[in-house]
A = this chain, B = another copy of it.
Amino acid sequence: MANETKSSHAAANAKMEKIVSLCKRRGFIFQSSEIYGGLNGAWDYGPVGVELKRNIKDYWWRRIVQLRDDVVGMDGSILMNRAVWKASGHEVTFHDPMVDCKVCKRRFRADQLETCECGKDPKKTPLTCGSELTAPRNFNLMFKTYVGPTEDDTSVAYLRPETAQAMFVQFKNVLEVARKKLPFGIAQIGKAFRNEINPRNFTFRSREFEQMELEFFVPPDQGLKWLEYWKDERLRWYEEIGIPRSKIHVLDVPADKRAHYSKGTYDLEYEFPFGVQELEGVAYRTDFDLKQHQEASGKPLEYFDEETRTKFIPHVVEPSAGVDRTLLAVLCEAFAEEEVKDDNGKTEVRTVLRFHPRVAPIKCGVFPLLKNKPELVAKAREVRDLLRPLMNVFYDEAGAIGRRYRRQDEVGTPYGVTIDFDTLGEKGPELKDTVTLRERDSMKQERIPIKDLHGWLLQRIN
């Protein structure tokens, strides 16, 4: 391995470590059940993490469902009838080939050895601890449980490994109530579960995760056209939440790497510190899913086209995104460290999350300059109460104002307003009822009248 590559790997690892540490320190992401040693592949979102996640999901929902006439939403259950997973093929084929190291006994996915934790290049050095691996064996990735009082084959159920199938099996119900013509889509956000052998890369590959999926139903001859449309649309969405087009690699998955039924798939991959990895798949799935369910259930899942007087099974284009992965990409993209001068002119490192204001957990910090001046505190609370119905604000009166700004920088709050003696009119009437507005990225400060504040902010955060 060249020295250059080694040191860029080390830098990437160091960046990732800093992000993981910031996430815990400032309340974005904690290990699940941490006080009990955690649960591998499960994560909890803390106070700012949950707001960031909500913003990402809400913006997806708004753009994909609410701002369109041709998509409706649904929210299906995680536990479904087992027959769904037989028909979809998951019960038989949703598995990973596993290999075990014969000496160190660690278990790996046979197809992903290049990313195993030992970090060695499999092309050049022996794998893992250097010992032989077993032949691959299949391991189903669905979590199994039993529904009802008896534990036998008739009561088996799985935690859904994807949200997609609920939209296929409810296609007819939704079509009837939504009174839509093709092309039209069903969208859903929800948890899914996969019993990954090696959860890794922080929240990137976890056992419990959240998906945002759209099944877009089209006439059979329009699949490839809509595949392009949705690929472009989804790239635009990522840009709108602060992930630039230049950081996303579009992989046109070759036929031999696609699912057998797919006539075209794009993987949208992001340059994570730990490598270029999939954020979202946009797949033209043909009529495979509806056909499988029609056959297995005996219920017609066809569409009658009134214009052409023909009946057919719609084809499907599916943009399938991971909430946790998107959030992690947003975090990685936003993370920055920069040298700045402190109040005494000394150089120090500022950690800042440059979130797009649209997804930032907190839109505006509100600070009285001093907490022991009742007039400042009262005025600051007034400003807080003015803004709060319109956006998520954070009120903070503890510590030096510079430190309060830095704390908000670390959670990515784009704006901060400080209520000082000028606000109270102590330096004359012209500054009365104005506040200092500080911008996170430039750290520039300007004076703005309180009455203009909510308009100014609303323009920038939506």
Which A residues form the contact surface with B (CB < 8 A)? 24-27, 30, 32-51, 53-54, 61, 66-67, 69, 72-81, 83-84, 98, 107, 139, 143-149, 157, 159, 166, 169-170, 172-174, 177-179, 191, 193, 195, 197, 207-208, 293, 296-297, 299, 301, 388-389, 392, 395, 398
A73 touches B47 (CB 8 A): yes
Complex CA gap A207/B157 in Å reads 12
A77 touches B32 (CB 8 A): yes
Complex CA gap A392/B61 in Å reads 11
- Closest-by-CB residue of B relative to A395 is B69
- A46 in complex: contacting residue of B32, B74, B146, B197, CB < 8 Å: B74
Least CB distance, A314 to chain B, in whole angstroms: 16
B66 touches A53 (CB 8 A): no
Given A73-B51, A149-B139, decide whether A34 and B179 contact each other with a Cβ distance below 8 A: no
- A147 in complex: contacting residue of B44, B147, B177, B195, CB < 8 Å: B195
A170 touches B83 (CB 8 A): no
Least CB distance, A72 to chain B, in whole angstroms: 4
Complex CA gap A257/B401 in Å reads 51
Having A27-B72, A32-B81, one finds 20 other A-B pairs with CB under 8 Å, namely A24-B173, A25-B177, A27-B173, A32-B80, A33-B169, A35-B169, A35-B293, A40-B147, A42-B77, A43-B77, A44-B166, A47-B73, A47-B174, A67-B388, A69-B395, A79-B193, A79-B208, A144-B146, A148-B197, A149-B197
Each complex incorporates copies of this chain amounting to: 2
Given A51-B73, A147-B39, A149-B98, decide whether A174 and B81 contact each other with a Cβ distance below 8 A: no
Given A44-B170, A81-B38, A143-B146, decide whether A75 and B98 contact each other with a Cβ distance below 8 A: no
A299 touches B145 (CB 8 A): no
- Of A35, A49, A75, the most chain B CB neighbours within 10 A belong to A35
B149 touches A35 (CB 8 A): no
- Closest-by-CB residue of B relative to A140 is B149
Residues of chain B within 8 A of A80, CB atoms compared: 32-33, 39, 42
Least CB distance, A37 to chain B, in whole angstroms: 7
Least CB distance, A41 to chain B, in whole angstroms: 8
Given A73-B50, A139-B149, A173-B46, decide whether A81 and B36 contact each other with a Cβ distance below 8 A: yes
Given A49-B75, A75-B44, A191-B191, decide whether A33 and B145 contact each other with a Cβ distance below 8 A: no
Least CB distance, A360 to chain B, in whole angstroms: 14
B149 touches A30 (CB 8 A): no
Least CB distance, A363 to chain B, in whole angstroms: 11
- A44 in complex: contacting residue of B48, B74, B395, CB < 8 Å: B74
- A36 in complex: contacting residue of B75, B83, B392, CB < 8 Å: B83
